[in-house]
Structure 1
Amino acid sequence: MDIIPTVNPVFAERLAYRKQSRFQQVWDLLDKVYDPELPGLTIWDLGILQDVKKLDNGWQIDITPTYSGCPAVDAINQDVVEVLSNAGFIGVKVKVVLAPAWSTEMVSPAGKKHLRSINIAPPDENDNVDCPVCGSSHTKLVSQFGSTACKALYQCDDCFENFDYFKHF
Structure 2
Amino acid sequence: MKTFNKDEINQKVIEKLKTIQDLELPINIFDLGIIYKTNVENSDNKVQVNIEMTLIDSRCNSTKSFTDEIISTVQSINEVDICTIKFVFTPKWEITMISPEGLEQLRNANPNKKD
State the TM-score bracket (shorter-chain normalisation).
0.7 to 0.9
Choose the corresponding residue for 1:81, options 71, 82, 85. Answer: 71
Q: Do the aligned residues in 2 keep the contact of 1:36 with 1:75 (CA within 8 Å)?
A: no
* Residues 123-134 of structure 1: pairs in structure 2 closer than 5 A: 133=112
1:51-70 Cα distance to aligned partner (Å, 9 max, x none): 11234252211111113223
- Give the superposition deviation at 1:134: 5.3
Distance 2:74 2:62 in 1: 18
Aligned length in residues: 103
In the alignment, structure 1 segments of 5+ residues that lack a partner are 1-20, 120-131, 138-169
Higher gyration radius (CA): 1
- Give the superposition deviation at 1:94: 1.2
Structure 2 residue 40 is matched with structure 1 residue 54:
yes
Q: Do the aligned residues in 2 keep the contact of 1:51 with 1:61 (CA within 8 Å)?
A: yes
- Give the superposition deviation at 1:43: 0.5
Determine which structure has the larger helix proportion and give its number.
Answer: 2
Identity among equivalent positions (%) equals: 27
Question: Which position in structure 1 is the counterpart of 2:14?
Answer: 27
Q: Do the aligned residues in 2 keep the contact of 1:54 with 1:60 (CA within 8 Å)?
A: yes
Distance 1:34 1:134 in 2: 21
Question: Which position in structure 2 is the counterpart of 1:108?
Answer: 99
Question: Which position in structure 2 is the counterpart of 1:38?
Answer: 25
* Residues 134/30 of structure 1: CA separation in 2 closer, same or farther (3 Å cut): closer
- Give the superposition deviation at 1:72: 4.5
TM-score by length of 2: 0.73
TM-score by length of 1: 0.52
C-alpha RMSD of the superposition: 2.3
Distance 2:76 2:59 in 1: 28
Aligned residue for 1:82, secondary structure, equals: helix
